[in-house]
Amino acid sequence: MAKRKSKYVCQDCGYESAKWMGKCPGCNNWNTLVEELESSTVKSRHTLGRDMNTVSKPERITEIESQEEPRVTTSMEEFNRVLGGGIVPGSLVLIGGDPGIGKSTLLLQISSQLAEKQLPVLYISGEESTRQTKLRAERLGVKADLLYVLAETNLYDIGNQIEKLKPSFVVIDSIQTIFREEVTSAPGSVSQVRECTSELMKIAKTKGIPIFIVGHVTKEGAIAGPRLLEHMVDAVLYFEGERHHTFRILRGVKNRFGSTNEMGIFEMKEEGLREVLNPSEIFLEERSHGAAGSTVVASMEGTRPVLVEIQALISPSSFGNPRRMATGFDNNRVPLLMAVLEKRVGLMLQNQDAYIKVAGGVKLDEPAIDLAVAVSIVSSFRDQPTKPDDIFIGEVGLTGEVRRVSRIDQRVQEAAKLGFKRVICPKKNLDGWMIPENIQVIGVNTVQEALEVGVLR
């Protein structure tokens, strides 16, 4: 009897090795290599391409007929926005997030809304029984007749039920619990996740059924399993937020059918998730007026401008190495901006601790918030508050210049809608668009000019 060969596969990046190693050479993580048995069935390479009648043939791109299929919209406008306007038929969507953040709650509510439109939905739960799903559905008020629940982890049986029921939508909760019998490794391993996702992708593309997949995340916050999983799907959505706070953020980091970095805001209630249509008011409702170190910035999240408060606290350091900490903002940019303020503005910040926070639990990563962070640092350092109806927008360069940003008109219109009076932005952005009547736009070339307008009064 032939001895079956085994290999060691990294559960984080998918690296394969013939022997066990403590540290994975692919991702440099420790103790992630797990032994898996290699499949004994080997397909012949010569069988590929024999039946030319069933093989797809190359076509000229100019001769391919384009068909714009209508998207299916849900009752949640925030969910439709993140997907780019609705659900695309035949798409494969991956939703990840921390345990208990509300992934299953969101998908159960979406499934109920689709079923109420007379579209059959199959909700497959590999982690809960049908009775447990029923208890959660009663709490959320889900009573749709065309919502079918299946507690199954075998991919073969799942495929048979999809073929028998012919649903319009399918939800898999979660991909780490689904297994394929031909793969000898345990459910949740790299091989199982890769093979099951590949089979689900084939079902979605051939039958035109949108499939939503729930994926677990690692302690670092990334989708568990190989990075290949995110490349296989059409859209990757992250459900973010703190479990101790009521607000949740659904962020699209990949979308083949819409804009990336789109963001939807939800509020967790006892009866489920409720969408927040105007997140700027939510993020600014607890802002303290007249407090030093507080500024407001208009940040673009996908196609939507969002007004967020930036807070800074500068205090003398009692140690030789002052601390630089940031929450919701790139921690590496804090010492960079403080170095610019020291060199170009003349502030003595090298013996000061700096703490930067983006209020509301939002994570901002675009360079247009640099000016607001720099003004917050100066405002806290000098203990001089900025005007409560000012907004600062702009990217700060190493020479102290304020560089232009994108979509300045949408940012200013959002600020005017919420009652702000002045916008301090790059001077290069003042041309080519119509300024609203009820707001003043001031263009600046350097950080020093922005401080003279916004802080030094």
Residue numbering of the annotated binding site for ATP: 97-104
| Six token digits for residue 247 | 């607000």
Nearest to 268 by CA among 148, 97, 87: 97
Q: 3-state DSSP helix/strand/coil percent for the chain, to nearest 5?
A: 30, 25, 45
Q: How far apart are CA 320 and CA 248, in angstroms?
A: 39
List all residues 6 or more positions away from 308 whose beta carbon is below 8 Å from its beta carbon: 280, 283, 284, 296, 297, 299, 358, 359, 360, 362, 364
- Residues making up the binding site: 97-104
Q: How far apart are CA 240 and CA 363, in angstroms?
A: 10
Q: How far apart are CA 347 and CA 447, in angstroms?
A: 12
Q: How far apart are CA 160 and CA 352, in angstroms?
A: 65
Nearest to 450 by CA among 295, 330, 292, 260: 295
Q: Are 358 and 327 in contact (CB under 8 A)?
A: yes
Going 331 to 335 to 340 to 346, the CA torsion angle's sign is positive
